[in-house]
Structure 1
Amino acid sequence: MAERLTPAAIRADVAELLHRNPDEGSDPENLFECGLDSIRLLTLLERWREAGMEISFVELAERPTLASWVSLLMSRQPAALDA
């Protein structure tokens, strides 16, 4: 089963694809202006879908900031399954 996403994990995923440290940049900056492209966005989308997120490419592309993505993804976090 996939691990739950956290704001730190989302930041780390984005930072990895932008070849920078997770603490670089700021939450409101436009990630497309920082070098994110559609292929990298698809990579993130698939990674997060594997973690159980129900999210679309368009939802992410329309709001390309870490602040927006963290908010959106945290609001869609699947309920924890008790073992």
Structure 2
Amino acid sequence: MTLTLERIRTDIADCLGEEPADIPVDENLVDYGLDSVRIMALLERWRREHGVQADFADLAEQPAIEAWAPLLGVA
């Protein structure tokens, strides 16, 4: 199963207790309440379910969906 931009957005929204439409793809997710513990939990989930090879430090450095997409293998 391939990870998609919408799946990333939905997973983040679920983690934050928000609607996916309320999560922008181009803004800093820390401003929406995403912290390092949640980033790690999401990354572990994507590794397990989608075979993602991304590094936590790379995601934490640029916490925006559009920055994460290429790191997570989303075209």
Alpha carbons 2:26, 2:65 under 8 Å: kept = yes
- Percentage of matched positions with identical amino acids: 42
Larger proportion of helix:
2
| TM-score (normalizing by structure 1) | 0.80
Taking structure 2 as the reference length, the TM-score comes to: 0.87
What stretches of structure 1 move > 3 A for 4+ residues in a row? Answer: none
CA contact (8 A) 2:13 2:23 kept: no
Q: CA deviation at 1:70?
A: 1.9
Unaligned runs of 5+ in 2: none
Match of 2:41 in 1: 43
Structure 1, unpaired ranges of 5+:
76-83
Question: C-alpha displacement at 1:14, in angstroms?
Answer: 0.7
Deviations 1:29-52 (A, max 9, x none): 111111011110111110111110
AA matched with 2:68:
W
- SS across alignment from 1:32: helix
Paired residues of 2:26 and 2:64 also in contact (CA < 8 A): yes
1:23 alignment partner, SS class: helix
**Which structure would you say has the larger Rg?**
1
Counting matched residue pairs gives 73
Q: How does 1:18-29 map to 2 (within 5 A)?
A: 18-29=16-27
Hey, what does 1:67 align to over in structure 2? 66
Query: Which position in structure 2 is the counterpart of 1:56?
Result: 55
Partner of 1:78: none
RMSD: 1.2
Post-superposition Cα deviations, 1:5-62, rounded to whole Å, max 9, x if no partner, equal 1111111111111111111132111111110111101111101111101011001001
